[in-house]
């Protein structure tokens, strides 16, 4: 297929359409949303997709924002990071559709805020800075397990012992991190190195988002989500990062990058839906 024809197909997909599709995905798979709010969000998303010309789009964004506000009020301490990001993005879209702000690079600054706060949170977290969190991911076989197992032959035995010992007492990530378990000195150093590498990468990304032009920003975010996929399977978070970029009007100047973000978002939403189906079985 001619790539120009393919790009023309992506050009037919507008940003608002992607936002409404993500609302449907978000409402269906997120277990933290009360059933009534799921109905409201799904109903609004369907109406927005099929009656976008008859009903002003700003009404839907306000419904999303109010629904997410209620949901966050009920589940503030349990809500995942992507929930807050989607909450702020919904507010931005509602305000933008009202015409109250113009030419404000809000999606970019929202990403700067998210990654900046995430980096600060890691730096002030003893569990992260001492390598406990990355070690936990390695032992749980969540992050780069096949590569790590080749570099650290002892990881397989340590991981099996970890899973067998603590699976019966598992309550939450924070509590299991506080439990003592046996690991090798090499794994400690390996986890520490990865912890510092994550902080350096996030700092570089924040600096790129602040000081570089839009094209380099978009490439950096796209590279970040795909590289991070090797460490964490945060499909909803990756999808909404792509959505944030697609909400930035300046992405229209780069049709190839825009198509890459739409494709990436579709992949992450599909993976998230598949993972939800597997967990639900």
DSSP 8-state code for residue 169: G
Q: In which domain, by residue range, is 127 found?
A: 122-210
With respect to residue 186, please indicate whether it lies within any of the assigned structural domains: yes
With respect to residue 80, please indicate whether it lies within any of the assigned structural domains: no
With respect to residue 204, please indicate whether it lies within any of the assigned structural domains: yes
With respect to residue 196, please indicate whether it lies within any of the assigned structural domains: yes
With respect to residue 188, please indicate whether it lies within any of the assigned structural domains: yes
Q: What percent of the chain has pLDDT over 70?
A: 72
Is residue 219 very low, low, confident or very high in pLDDT (cuts 50, 70, 90)?
Answer: very high
- Give the C-alpha distances (Å, rounded to integers) separating 81 from 112, 181, 235, 249, 253: 14, 28, 12, 24, 29
* Count of CA atoms in the C-beta half-sphere (13 A) of 275: 13
From the number of C-beta atoms within 10 Å of its C-beta (0-12, 13-18, 19+), residue 126 rates as exposed
**How high is the pLDDT of residue 85?**
83
**How high is the pLDDT of residue 49?**
84
With respect to residue 185, please indicate whether it lies within any of the assigned structural domains: yes
pTM confidence score: 0.79
**How high is the pLDDT of residue 276?**
64
112's CB contacts (< 8 A; 6+ apart) are: 206, 209, 210
- The count of domains in the chain is 1
């Amino acid at each position: 297929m001619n790539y120009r024809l393919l790009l023309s197909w992506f050009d037919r997909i507008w940003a608002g359409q992607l936002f409404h599709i993500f609302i449907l995905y978000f409402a269906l798979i997120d277990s933290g949303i009360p059933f009534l709010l799921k109905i409201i969000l799904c109903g609004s998303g369907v109406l927005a997709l099929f009656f976008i010309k008859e009903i002003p789009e700003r009404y839907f964004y306000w419904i999303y924002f109010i629904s997410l506000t209620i949901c966050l009020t009920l589940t503030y301490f349990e809500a995942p990071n992507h929930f807050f990001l989607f909450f702020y993005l919904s507010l931005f879209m509602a305000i933008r559709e009202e015409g109250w702000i113009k030419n404000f690079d809000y999606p970019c600054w929202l990403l700067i805020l998210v990654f900046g706060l995430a980096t600060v949170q890691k730096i002030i977290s003893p569990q992260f800075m001492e390598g406990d969190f990355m070690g936990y991911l390695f032992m749980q076989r969540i992050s780069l397990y096949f590569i790590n197992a080749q570099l650290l032959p002892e990881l397989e035995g340590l991981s099996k012992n970890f899973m067998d010992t603590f699976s019966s007492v598992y309550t939450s990530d924070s509590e299991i991190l506080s439990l003592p378990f046996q690991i090798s000195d090499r794994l400690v150093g390996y986890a520490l190195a990865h912890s510092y590498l994550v902080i350096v990468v996030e700092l570089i990304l924040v600096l790129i988002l602040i000081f570089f032009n839009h094209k380099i920003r978009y490439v950096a975010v796209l590279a970040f989500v795909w590289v991070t996929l090797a460490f964490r399977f945060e499909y909803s978070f990756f999808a909404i990062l792509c959505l944030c970029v697609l909400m930035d009007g300046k992405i229209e100047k780069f049709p190839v990058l825009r198509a890459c973000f739409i494709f990436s978002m579709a992949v992450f939403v599909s993976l998230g839906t598949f993972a939800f189906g597997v967990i639900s079985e």
